[in-house]
Protein backbone atom coordinates (compact mmCIF):
# COMPACT_ATOMS: atom_id res chain seq x y z
CA UNK A 1 0.00 0.00 0.00
CA UNK A 2 1.39 3.45 -0.86
CA UNK A 3 2.70 5.60 1.97
CA UNK A 4 0.06 8.15 3.01
CA UNK A 5 1.80 11.53 3.26
CA UNK A 6 1.28 15.24 3.73
CA UNK A 7 3.96 17.46 2.19
CA UNK A 8 4.60 20.60 4.24
CA UNK A 9 6.65 22.97 2.14
CA UNK A 10 7.89 26.46 1.24
CA UNK A 11 8.67 26.11 -2.49
CA UNK A 12 11.72 26.83 -3.53
CA UNK A 13 13.19 25.11 -6.57
CA UNK A 14 14.42 22.09 -4.61
CA UNK A 15 11.03 21.82 -2.87
CA UNK A 16 9.51 21.79 -6.35
CA UNK A 17 11.66 18.83 -7.38
CA UNK A 18 10.71 17.02 -4.16
CA UNK A 19 6.99 17.58 -4.79
CA UNK A 20 7.34 16.40 -8.40
CA UNK A 21 9.18 13.28 -7.23
CA UNK A 22 6.34 12.45 -4.85
CA UNK A 23 3.65 13.11 -7.47
CA UNK A 24 5.57 10.90 -9.92
CA UNK A 25 5.56 7.94 -7.50
CA UNK A 26 1.92 6.89 -7.00
CA UNK A 27 2.99 3.26 -6.71
CA UNK A 28 4.56 3.97 -3.33
CA UNK A 29 3.37 7.46 -2.28
CA UNK A 30 -0.13 8.89 -1.94
CA UNK A 31 0.03 12.65 -1.40
CA UNK A 32 -3.06 13.51 0.64
CA UNK A 33 -2.42 17.23 0.48
CA UNK A 34 0.23 19.93 0.28
CA UNK A 35 0.48 22.47 3.10
CA UNK A 36 2.36 25.69 2.48
CA UNK A 37 4.39 27.61 5.06
CA UNK A 38 6.38 30.84 4.88
CA UNK A 39 10.11 30.24 4.45
CA UNK A 40 12.12 30.53 1.25
CA UNK A 41 9.68 33.26 0.24
CA UNK A 42 6.60 34.72 1.97
CA UNK A 43 3.45 32.63 2.33
CA UNK A 44 1.52 34.09 -0.60
CA UNK A 45 4.32 32.98 -2.92
CA UNK A 46 4.81 29.54 -1.36
CA UNK A 47 1.09 28.85 -1.80
CA UNK A 48 1.22 30.11 -5.39
CA UNK A 49 4.33 28.06 -6.11
CA UNK A 50 2.74 24.85 -4.79
CA UNK A 51 -0.11 25.40 -7.25
CA UNK A 52 2.31 26.10 -10.13
CA UNK A 53 4.18 22.86 -9.40
CA UNK A 54 1.02 20.76 -9.29
CA UNK A 55 -0.21 22.26 -12.54
CA UNK A 56 3.17 21.58 -14.16
CA UNK A 57 2.73 17.93 -13.13
CA UNK A 58 -0.89 17.95 -14.40
CA UNK A 59 -2.08 17.09 -10.88
CA UNK A 60 -4.72 19.82 -10.62
CA UNK A 61 -6.92 17.76 -8.28
CA UNK A 62 -4.30 17.99 -5.53
CA UNK A 63 -5.50 19.80 -2.41
CA UNK A 64 -3.32 22.75 -1.37
CA UNK A 65 -3.65 24.48 1.99
CA UNK A 66 -2.28 27.83 3.15
CA UNK A 67 -0.56 27.75 6.54
CA UNK A 68 1.44 29.96 8.88
CA UNK A 69 2.74 33.25 7.51
CA UNK A 70 5.45 33.74 10.14
CA UNK A 71 7.43 31.78 12.74
CA UNK A 72 6.04 31.11 16.21
CA UNK A 73 8.00 33.83 17.99
CA UNK A 74 10.24 35.60 15.47
CA UNK A 75 10.18 37.79 12.41
CA UNK A 76 10.25 35.87 9.14
CA UNK A 77 13.61 35.40 7.41
CA UNK A 78 13.39 34.51 3.71
CA UNK A 79 15.88 33.33 1.07
CA UNK A 80 15.24 35.25 -2.15
CA UNK A 81 19.03 35.58 -2.43
CA UNK A 82 19.09 31.84 -3.20
CA UNK A 83 15.75 31.15 -4.90
CA UNK A 84 15.04 34.48 -6.60
CA UNK A 85 12.18 36.88 -5.95
CA UNK A 86 9.48 34.35 -6.89
CA UNK A 87 11.07 31.36 -5.17
CA UNK A 88 10.94 29.51 -8.49
CA UNK A 89 13.20 31.73 -10.61
CA UNK A 90 14.88 30.04 -13.55
CA UNK A 91 11.84 29.49 -15.75
CA UNK A 92 8.61 31.40 -16.31
CA UNK A 93 5.55 29.20 -15.88
CA UNK A 94 1.87 30.11 -16.32
CA UNK A 95 -0.08 31.73 -13.51
CA UNK A 96 -1.87 28.97 -11.59
CA UNK A 97 -5.64 28.58 -11.73
CA UNK A 98 -6.27 25.63 -9.39
CA UNK A 99 -7.98 26.51 -6.10
CA UNK A 100 -6.63 26.88 -2.59
CA UNK A 101 -8.59 24.98 0.04
CA UNK A 102 -10.42 27.05 2.65
CA UNK A 103 -9.23 24.96 5.61
CA UNK A 104 -6.06 26.22 7.30
CA UNK A 105 -3.02 23.99 6.75
CA UNK A 106 -2.63 23.34 10.49
CA UNK A 107 -6.22 22.14 10.76
CA UNK A 108 -5.80 19.95 7.69
CA UNK A 109 -2.77 18.28 9.29
CA UNK A 110 -4.68 17.72 12.54
CA UNK A 111 -7.85 16.46 10.86
CA UNK A 112 -5.99 14.09 8.54
CA UNK A 113 -4.06 12.49 11.39
CA UNK A 114 -7.14 12.22 13.61
CA UNK A 115 -9.43 10.86 10.89
CA UNK A 116 -7.09 8.13 9.65
CA UNK A 117 -5.85 5.02 11.45
CA UNK A 118 -3.08 5.58 13.97
CA UNK A 119 0.44 5.22 12.53
CA UNK A 120 -0.75 5.66 8.96
CA UNK A 121 0.18 9.29 8.15
CA UNK A 122 3.72 10.47 7.41
CA UNK A 123 4.54 14.18 7.50
CA UNK A 124 7.22 15.20 4.98
CA UNK A 125 8.51 18.60 6.05
CA UNK A 126 10.58 20.51 3.49
CA UNK A 127 10.62 23.97 5.09
CA UNK A 128 10.49 25.66 8.50
CA UNK A 129 8.52 23.53 10.95
CA UNK A 130 5.95 26.17 11.94
CA UNK A 131 2.86 24.37 10.57
CA UNK A 132 3.88 21.05 12.10
CA UNK A 133 4.65 22.59 15.49
CA UNK A 134 1.38 24.52 15.49
CA UNK A 135 -0.52 21.30 14.82
CA UNK A 136 1.26 19.62 17.75
CA UNK A 137 0.52 22.60 20.01
CA UNK A 138 -3.13 22.85 19.00
CA UNK A 139 -3.84 19.10 19.23
CA UNK A 140 -1.11 17.36 21.30
CA UNK A 141 -2.81 13.97 20.93
CA UNK A 142 -1.77 13.70 17.28
CA UNK A 143 1.83 13.09 18.37
CA UNK A 144 0.98 9.50 19.31
CA UNK A 145 -1.04 8.95 16.12
CA UNK A 146 1.32 10.21 13.40
CA UNK A 147 3.48 7.48 11.85
CA UNK A 148 6.63 9.55 11.39
CA UNK A 149 8.05 12.91 10.43
CA UNK A 150 10.71 12.98 7.72
CA UNK A 151 12.26 16.43 7.43
CA UNK A 152 14.95 18.34 5.63
CA UNK A 153 16.75 20.54 8.12
CA UNK A 154 19.73 21.02 10.34
CA UNK A 155 23.37 20.11 10.05
CA UNK A 156 26.20 18.86 12.22
CA UNK A 157 29.50 18.26 10.44
CA UNK A 158 28.46 20.63 7.62
CA UNK A 159 27.61 23.39 10.16
CA UNK A 160 25.34 26.14 8.75
CA UNK A 161 24.23 27.63 5.45
CA UNK A 162 22.38 30.74 6.71
CA UNK A 163 24.64 31.41 9.73
CA UNK A 164 27.93 29.77 10.71
CA UNK A 165 26.00 27.43 13.02
CA UNK A 166 22.52 26.94 11.54
CA UNK A 167 20.75 25.52 8.50
CA UNK A 168 18.03 27.75 7.03
CA UNK A 169 14.86 25.75 7.81
CA UNK A 170 15.71 25.32 11.49
CA UNK A 171 17.08 28.87 11.82
CA UNK A 172 13.85 30.44 10.54
CA UNK A 173 11.76 28.91 13.34
CA UNK A 174 13.93 27.24 15.99
CA UNK A 175 11.12 27.24 18.54
CA UNK A 176 8.96 25.21 16.16
CA UNK A 177 11.83 22.81 15.54
CA UNK A 178 12.33 22.36 19.27
CA UNK A 179 8.66 21.43 19.69
CA UNK A 180 8.88 18.88 16.88
CA UNK A 181 12.09 17.25 18.14
CA UNK A 182 10.68 17.06 21.68
CA UNK A 183 7.33 15.64 20.54
CA UNK A 184 8.13 11.96 20.87
CA UNK A 185 7.17 11.37 17.22
CA UNK A 186 9.47 9.10 15.19
CA UNK A 187 11.73 11.53 13.30
CA UNK A 188 14.15 11.12 10.41
CA UNK A 189 16.34 14.14 9.62
CA UNK A 190 17.92 14.79 6.22
CA UNK A 191 20.48 17.49 7.18
CA UNK A 192 23.08 19.34 5.15
CA UNK A 193 25.45 16.49 6.01
CA UNK A 194 23.60 14.32 3.48
CA UNK A 195 22.09 16.90 1.12
CA UNK A 196 25.56 18.31 0.38
CA UNK A 197 26.33 14.90 -1.14
CA UNK A 198 23.38 15.27 -3.56
CA UNK A 199 25.22 17.66 -5.87
CA UNK A 200 23.87 18.88 -9.18
CA UNK A 201 26.36 18.77 -12.06
CA UNK A 202 26.22 19.67 -15.75
CA UNK A 203 25.85 15.98 -16.54
CA UNK A 204 22.91 15.65 -14.16
CA UNK A 205 21.22 18.80 -15.47
CA UNK A 206 21.60 17.34 -18.97
CA UNK A 207 19.90 14.16 -17.78
CA UNK A 208 16.90 16.22 -16.66
CA UNK A 209 16.82 18.03 -20.02
CA UNK A 210 16.88 14.69 -21.83
CA UNK A 211 13.62 13.67 -20.17
CA UNK A 212 12.29 15.89 -22.97
CA UNK A 213 9.12 17.03 -21.22
CA UNK A 214 7.84 20.22 -19.56
CA UNK A 215 8.75 18.72 -16.16
CA UNK A 216 12.27 17.77 -17.25
CA UNK A 217 12.81 21.19 -18.80
CA UNK A 218 11.61 22.99 -15.66
CA UNK A 219 13.75 20.88 -13.33
CA UNK A 220 16.82 21.46 -15.51
CA UNK A 221 16.27 25.23 -15.51
CA UNK A 222 15.49 25.40 -11.78
CA UNK A 223 18.55 23.41 -10.81
CA UNK A 224 20.74 25.41 -13.17
CA UNK A 225 19.46 28.64 -11.57
CA UNK A 226 20.28 27.91 -7.95
CA UNK A 227 23.41 25.91 -8.80
CA UNK A 228 25.19 29.17 -9.65
CA UNK A 229 24.64 30.57 -6.16
CA UNK A 230 25.74 27.46 -4.32
CA UNK A 231 28.80 26.79 -6.48
CA UNK A 232 30.04 30.31 -5.78
CA UNK A 233 29.25 30.00 -2.06
CA UNK A 234 30.76 26.58 -1.37
CA UNK A 235 33.37 26.33 -4.12
CA UNK A 236 31.95 22.91 -4.96
CA UNK A 237 31.42 21.26 -8.33
CA UNK A 238 27.65 21.63 -8.06
CA UNK A 239 24.77 22.74 -5.87
CA UNK A 240 23.10 20.49 -3.29
CA UNK A 241 19.58 19.32 -4.09
CA UNK A 242 18.24 19.37 -0.53
CA UNK A 243 14.52 18.66 -0.31
CA UNK A 244 14.16 15.76 -2.77
CA UNK A 245 16.24 13.74 -0.30
CA UNK A 246 13.15 13.57 1.95
CA UNK A 247 10.99 11.93 -0.73
CA UNK A 248 13.84 9.76 -2.01
CA UNK A 249 14.35 8.48 1.55
CA UNK A 250 10.69 7.49 1.64
CA UNK A 251 10.98 5.64 -1.69
CA UNK A 252 14.44 4.06 -1.32
CA UNK A 253 15.74 4.36 2.25
CA UNK A 254 18.55 1.91 1.52
CA UNK A 255 20.44 4.50 -0.54
CA UNK A 256 20.92 6.50 2.70
CA UNK A 257 22.57 5.76 6.02
CA UNK A 258 22.72 7.50 9.38
CA UNK A 259 22.60 7.13 13.15
CA UNK A 260 19.83 7.23 15.71
CA UNK A 261 21.01 9.99 18.05
CA UNK A 262 19.80 12.80 20.27
CA UNK A 263 19.19 16.11 18.49
CA UNK A 264 18.55 19.29 20.47
CA UNK A 265 17.68 22.70 18.99
CA UNK A 266 19.38 25.88 20.20
CA UNK A 267 16.85 28.67 20.74
CA UNK A 268 18.51 30.91 23.33
CA UNK A 269 21.77 32.03 21.77
CA UNK A 270 21.81 34.63 19.02
CA UNK A 271 25.23 33.32 18.03
CA UNK A 272 24.07 29.76 17.45
CA UNK A 273 20.29 30.22 17.04
CA UNK A 274 18.81 27.26 15.19
CA UNK A 275 21.82 25.00 15.60
CA UNK A 276 20.97 21.29 15.57
CA UNK A 277 23.14 19.88 18.33
CA UNK A 278 23.41 16.25 17.23
CA UNK A 279 25.05 13.89 19.71
CA UNK A 280 26.68 11.96 16.86
CA UNK A 281 29.31 10.38 19.10
CA UNK A 282 26.86 9.71 21.95
CA UNK A 283 28.90 11.62 24.50
CA UNK A 284 25.84 12.59 26.58
CA UNK A 285 23.21 10.52 28.33
CA UNK A 286 20.39 12.24 26.43
CA UNK A 287 17.93 9.80 24.89
CA UNK A 288 18.10 9.46 21.08
CA UNK A 289 15.13 11.14 19.39
CA UNK A 290 15.95 11.18 15.66
CA UNK A 291 17.52 9.18 12.85
CA UNK A 292 20.17 11.65 11.65
CA UNK A 293 21.14 10.82 8.07
CA UNK A 294 24.71 11.38 6.91
CA UNK A 295 25.39 9.12 3.94
CA UNK A 296 24.00 8.93 0.40
CA UNK A 297 24.63 6.98 -2.79
CA UNK A 298 24.40 10.04 -5.03
CA UNK A 299 24.32 8.15 -8.34
CA UNK A 300 21.38 6.03 -7.22
CA UNK A 301 19.65 9.17 -5.92
CA UNK A 302 19.89 11.00 -9.24
CA UNK A 303 18.99 7.88 -11.22
CA UNK A 304 15.85 7.61 -9.11
CA UNK A 305 15.00 11.27 -9.76
CA UNK A 306 15.38 10.96 -13.54
CA UNK A 307 13.52 7.65 -13.70
CA UNK A 308 10.56 8.93 -11.68
CA UNK A 309 10.32 12.42 -13.19
CA UNK A 310 10.23 10.84 -16.64
CA UNK A 311 6.78 9.51 -15.75
CA UNK A 312 5.17 12.95 -15.38
pLDDT digits (tens, 9 = 90+) for 14-46: 999 999 999 999 999 999 999 999 999 999 999
Q: Would the pTM count as exceeding 0.85?
A: yes
Question: Would the pLDDT of 227 be above 70?
Answer: no
Active-site residue identified among 83, 104, 196, 242: 242
Please indicate whether residue 242 is annotated as part of the active site: yes
Buried/exposed code over 73-91 (b: 16+ C-beta within 10 A; e: otherwise): ebebbbbeebbbebbbbbb
Q: What per-residue confidence (pLDDT) applies to 233?
A: 59
Domain count, the chain: 1
DSSP structure class, residue 255:
G
Give the integer Cα–Cα distance in Å for 290 and 183. Answer: 11
Residue partners of 41: CB distance under 8 A and separation at least 6: 10, 12, 49, 78, 79, 80, 83, 85, 86, 87
232 exposed, middle or buried (CB, 10 Å; 0-12, 13-18, 19+)?
exposed
Question: Which domain, by its residues, includes 20?
Answer: 3-309
Q: Residue 232 — very low, low, confident or very high, per pLDDT cuts 50/70/90? A: low
Q: What per-residue confidence (pLDDT) applies to 239?
A: 82
CATH number of the domain at 241, please: 3.90.245.10
- Cβ atoms of 125 and 249 within 8 Å: the answer is no
Give the integer Cα–Cα distance in Å for 268 and 283. Answer: 22
Sheet holding 29-36, edge to edge: 64-66, 29-36, 3-9, 121-125, 148-152, 187-190, 290-296, 256-261
- Cβ atoms of 7 and 119 within 8 Å: the answer is no
Amino acid sequence: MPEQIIIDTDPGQDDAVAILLALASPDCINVLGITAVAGNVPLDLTVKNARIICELAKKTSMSIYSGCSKPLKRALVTAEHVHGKTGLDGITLPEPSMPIQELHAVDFIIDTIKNNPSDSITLCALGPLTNVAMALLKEPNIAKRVKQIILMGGAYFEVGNITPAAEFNIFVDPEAAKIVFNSGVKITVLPLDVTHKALISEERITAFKEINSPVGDAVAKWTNFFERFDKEKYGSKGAPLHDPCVIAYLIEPNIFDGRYVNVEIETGSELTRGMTVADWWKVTDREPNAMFIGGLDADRFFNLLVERLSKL
